[in-house]
Chains A and B, each alone.
Chain A
Amino acid sequence: MNGMTVIVKTVTRWLKVFIFLYGIYIIITGHLAPGGGFAGGVIIACSYMLLTLAYGKEFTLKRLSLRAGHHLDSSGALLFLVVALFGLGSGGIFFANVLQNRYPGAKFTLLSSGTILISNIAIGLKVAASLFLIFIILSVLRIVLVEDGSQKMIQEEEEE
């Protein structure tokens, strides 16, 4: 996969930042406006998919390797679990919103809801890394029909 034409590459170069920024906005304001961690994570993964489709797999993997994706995925899940255990440790209840109970912020502001913001960021990180990993893995391998009618999994480079 060597990428697409120069038109697609130029448009992608301008658009990718805005898509990424929109995903971050959806995650950060998840407790104030419609959206949240899941939707924002999917949008961030979309920006990386656009990059992969336009520039090719090697270009994306140079910027965000599979190993880094693994670490982001695991750290997102771990951060969410840490929030839960933090509530259990200091509030006595699993997922207790300790920050909001102790230091309630002004309503309708960014820091108004305690651990909900942290949970949103954790879930967004996790979903974005997961979908990116699945897309990269699916674009490395592909299933083709061989002569005797059975199906065989091959790599992209071997096919060409």
Chain B
Amino acid sequence: MGIELYLFILLVFLIVGALIAVETKNLLSSVISLGAIGFGLSIAFLFLRAPDLAIVQIAVEVVLLIFLIRATIGRDVIPTKGHIHWAGLLIVCLLTVGFFAFGYYAFRSLNEFGTPIISAVGNAPSNKYLADGLKETGSANIVTSILLDYRAYDTLGEATVLFAAVLGALAVLRGRAWSKREKDK
């Protein structure tokens, strides 16, 4: 049991944090509870023995909190008014129940908690990565050897997405800043 109990407590904490983030009226407390969810997720990654993901999660969460607090500070949320659409609510409830029923049967077909799925498949590529990763790439960290050697093409795509995102943000946001600087000259 052990680690499953800790994970269960963490998951309940995450779900409560998510509900607070959605339901609270104050925008700043919503952002802060979002940060609590991120840090809880990073602890969950540590319990699941994934320190690489935990480091990335905690660093990205700090940056995200700075961005969001900087964007939302001193601003009030405008509450949406209007009557409840009962038909829409009914459809949403039905879809949620269906989703949970499907998820229950899908997760029952998985292996027991803690046994990797690759152990059920004999000649999965992951087995080769784990067995020969250190010998072939010389990298002691298997995650890095997969990210930057076996599956480096994926990482190139990820870097391209980040590059395009920065280009888009700069193109959209810098127009007025540039025009003002030229006016000063």
Residues of A in contact with B (beta carbons under 8 Å apart):
26, 30-39, 42-43, 45-46, 49, 53, 73, 77, 80-81, 84, 94-95, 97, 100, 104-105, 107-108, 112-116, 119-120, 123, 126-127, 130-131, 133-135, 137-142, 153-155
Contacts and interface: CB of A to CB of B under 8 A. Distances in A.
18 contacts: A31-B140, A31-B141, A33-B141, A35-B55, A36-B56, A36-B144, A36-B148, A42-B63, A46-B59, A73-B166, A84-B152, A94-B153, A95-B153, A97-B137, A112-B138, A126-B159, A126-B163, A137-B173
A97 B51 CA distance: 25
Interface of B is mostly: helix
B41 to A, nearest CB: 15
A127 B66 CA distance: 17
A113 B71 contact: no
A35 B177 CA distance: 36
A112 B139 contact: yes
A29 to B, nearest CB: 9
A26 B137 CA distance: 19
B132 interface: no
A32 B52 contact: no
A104 B135 CA distance: 10
B67 interface: yes
Interface in B111-141: 134, 136-141
Contacts, number: 145
Chain B, interface size category, equals 35 or more
Contacts of A154: 176
A119 B70 contact: no
A152 to B, nearest CB: 10
Contacts of B59: 39, 42-43, 46
A116 B147 CA distance: 9
Contacts of B136: 97, 100
Interface string B51-88: 11011100110110011001100000000000000000
Contacts of A139: 70
B176 A153 contact: yes
A120 B147 CA distance: 10
A107 B140 contact: yes
Contacts of B173: 137-138, 140-141
A113 B156 contact: no
